Amino acid sequence: MFATATKNLLEEVDGDGDLLPVTSLNDSIRILSLVVKRKRSWLWQKNKYLPSDFSLDDVLLGDMPIKPVVTETDFIKYNGTYSDNIQGNLEGNFGHANVNMGGKDTSKLQSSLGSLKKEELDVQKLLQDSKDRVMDMSHSLVKQTMEKRREVFGVVKERIVTTQPCSVIEEVQQGGQCGGLLSLFSPRSTKVSIKENGSLSKDSNVTLEIPPHTVLAYGLMELVVKLNGHYELCLMSDTKGGFEVDGPAKKLVGLGAPVHASQQSCIKQELDRLSDHFQKLSSLPASTRSSLLQHLTSIMQDPEAVSMLETVLNQMCVDDESPDMLEAVGTECASQHSKAILELVGQSSRGEEDPPTDKSPSNLHAVHLVISALDEMTDDGLAVLGTCCSPELLLVLELLVQCVTGSGEMSLPPLTTEVWESIEGLFASANIALSRDADTLKTDIDQQPGYLPLVLCIAIRGLASLAVFDVV
């Protein structure tokens, strides 16, 4: 909720992407705070930023503290209201099942942040004060960050802060109904199995009071750190930081040729390269696949939970670490679903017959791929996809992925107008336009920078690999 509010703020005021949103009220973001930038393992992922409890001064040798000079200016006065209304009905005959289902999800997020101020570091003064200073290479944070190979330091040089008490209010109304023999995945809820006509509803209204001087966003300068502890500030935005290494860097997984949204063949090539991951998921026992899909559907309604779960899986898959189970991932409900996902993956991994290789990924890596793709989707796209996770709808979405990566044309499936509006919105969130002409559906990838079309195709194919169809 707080993370969504800060992200919305930056989408309105920071089109160049120079600022980073604060995702948690627990994050300690001060001027000169050290933030760890983690480079990602998949080519289509954005970097992640992990605030630390230390400042630049804490990791330097010497007793002379650096006292930052900060200027404060008025930024903007910000009040925003964001509403989503997702609804749809599905009627059709899929194999042995006659299906009639519907769902509605209405949400409103109101951010009343008031007057905001910007605090900016005097970089010239910092250069003078830190001249000839050396980093303590034995400091725990420095050692742990350097060992990761994919992580670099950034120093907070500016902040956007509140100046008065303010609030973020979220109102959610959810409901679903289903008739026939079908399992309904209702938004932000657990799986509900219904054999006769039934319904499900849930309302919530949450107000988050934010005190003055709360940091909402920040900007960084990266550091280049030498083996002898000397460091340089990256003063230009196109200059990247890092640690000097005395040996070969650790090989990263999942790297390949860049994919451009205008190249269908490149997207197909990347999906083919990841086919072993999807095959791994579809080979899981039906009960495990069904449970994983159920829990994934639930956490997809909480983007922050998806992001935090991806961080944990990244530590396990890429860094070969075994972090503690998640104590808090988004809401309490999201935390429970995330823990269930880790437990299911752990159980299935212990049951693997052959050890994983580069060509045969583990169950853990296969699930990590899907979570990573979900984490890169837009919030709107993620919310809509979460309402389309019945096996029958995933089958339709999988056919659309084949259309996107193939001829770009397919026969139009017999779905209601409301369902098609939702699906069109889902693909539009990934810069893919759907158009209908009589009984033919056409797909067209908009030539926009980034990897959103590929990310959506990976997410759909991964979720479809978990779908289980009842045989009557």
**SS3 letters across the chain:** CHHHHHHHHHHHHCCCCCCEECCCCCCCCCCCEEEEEECCCCCCCCCEEEEEEEEHHHHECCCCCCCCCEEEEEEEEEEEEEEEEEEEEEEEEECCEEEEEEEEEEEEEEEEEEEEEEEEECHHHHHHHCCCCCECCCCHHHHHHHHHCCEEEEEEEEEEEECCCEEEEEEEEEEEEEEECEEEECCCCCEEEECCCEEEEEEEEEEEEECCCCEEEEEEEEEEECCCCCEEECCCCCCCCEECCCCCCCCCCCCCCCCCCCCHHHHHHHHHHCHHHHHHHHCCCHHHHHHHHHHHHHHCCCHHHHHHHHHHHHHHHCCCCCCCCCCCCCCHHHHHHHHHHHHHHHHHHHCCCCCCCCCCCCHHHHHHHHHHHHHHCCHHHHHHHHCCCCHHHHHHHHHHHHHHHCCCEEECCCCCHHHHHHHHHHHHCCCEEEEEECCEEEEEECCCCCCHHHHHHHHHHHHHHHCCCCCC
Clarify whether residues 320 and 282 are in a common domain.
Answer: yes
Do residues 455 and 335 share a domain? yes
In a domain, 280, yes or no: yes
Residues 212, 268 within the same domain: no
Answer yes or no: is 297 within a domain.
yes
Mark whether 43 and 143 lie in a shared domain: yes
* Residues sharing a CB contact under 8 Å with residue 396, sequence separation 6 or more, in sequence order: 413, 415, 423
Domain carrying residue 217: 2-78+109-168+208-243
> What is the model's pLDDT at position 26?
85
Position 126 in a domain = yes
pLDDT at position 122 is 96
Q: What is the number of domains present in the chain?
A: 2
Is-contact 109 170, C-beta < 8 A?
yes
Q: Measure the CA–CA gap between 367 and 342, rounded to whole angstroms.
A: 9
Tally of CA atoms within 13 A in the half-sphere of 176 that contains its CB: 24
- Residue at 39: amino acid letter: K
Q: Is residue 96 part of a domain?
A: no
Q: Same structural domain for residues 270 and 304?
A: yes
Q: Say if 320 falls within a structural domain.
A: yes
Same domain, 224 and 275: no
Rounded distance between C-alpha atoms, residue 162 and residue 165, angstroms: 8
Q: Domain check: are 300 and 216 in the same one?
A: no
For residues 275 and 227, membership in a common domain is answered with no
Q: Which residues of the chain have pLDDT under 70?
A: 84-106, 173-204, 246-263, 320-332, 348-360, 470-472
Q: Are residues 214 and 151 both part of a single domain?
A: yes
Would residue 74 count as lying in a domain?
A: yes
Same domain, 224 and 295: no
Are 127 and 236 in the same domain?
A: yes
Residue 31 within a domain: yes
Same domain, 268 and 298: yes
Q: What pLDDT shows up at residue 331?
A: 60
Please report whether residue 162 resides in a domain.
yes
- Model pTM score: 0.74
